[in-house]
Copies of this chain bind each other. A is one copy, B any other.
């Protein structure tokens, strides 16, 4: 059935619609399936998800609360643009949160946390092996989120999650066409980070988190510089 591609679900439990729409749209935005700046039409979404505009709207309000979409009063709502001009403030926040969450994980994790972290680590290695870019980016974010959760500080976890979300969009933006040697190095660094956490070595965890974060920042900056050259060349 081809219709299945555009319509989702038929019968739902009361109250589940908002979460469904929120989750799907969030993923589509973060995977750049919905391009930054593209319009988000409530009526279209209502048709697609087979529900009225009310729950759609509620999902959109939540997405707007996280800055993933922007609402122009009385006119339209758009997928938020990626702010490339202020990347440095993004990087500042990202690196600090890498440090803090990894350090706290070393301090506060329990056995179950380590199991979850390792599981995602293996999953990440597998996606690298398979060269599945979209999954790689998503699983990497999940891996670091799991570390943050193990740190047991919901304030940091919340900010970090938002930063990793934004990172998914930025990475996809640059990794759209070509590939890098990026992956394997990061698998190794993940290994070291896990070891530091398990050994409850706060300073090492902090240091490795910082290095890992800066590694990613450099990578993105390199890609950014090269892309700018390409733009000029055209």
Chain A 114-155 per-residue mask, 1 if CB under 8 angstroms from chain B, else 0: 000000000000000000000000000000000000001111
Chain A 89-125 per-residue mask, 1 if CB under 8 angstroms from chain B, else 0: 1101100100010001000000000000000000000
Determine if A48 is an interface residue (Cβ-Cβ < 8 Å).
no
**Secondary structure of the A side of the interface?**
helix
Contact of A58 (CB < 8 Å), options: B61, B92, B93, B104: B61
Which residues does chain B contribute within 8 Å of A57, judged by CB atoms?
58
CB distance from A96 to the nearest CB of B (A): 7
CB distance from A12 to the nearest CB of B (A): 13
Asked if A155 and B74 sit within 8 Å, CB to CB, the answer is no
Binds B, one of A157-165, A169-177, A199-207, A214-222: A157-165
Chain B residue, CB-CB nearest to A86: B154
Asked if B154 and A89 sit within 8 Å, CB to CB, the answer is yes
Which residues does chain B contribute within 8 Å of A14, judged by CB atoms?
74
Q: CA–CA, A74 to B48, complex, Å?
A: 25
Q: CA–CA, A163 to B96, complex, Å?
A: 17
6 residue pairs, one from A and one from B, having the closest CB atoms: A93-B155, A65-B65, A89-B153, A159-B159, A61-B61, A15-B73
Q: Which residues of A contact B (CB under 8 A)?
A: 14-15, 54, 57-58, 61-62, 65-66, 73-74, 86, 89-90, 92-93, 96, 100, 104, 152-156, 158-159, 162-163
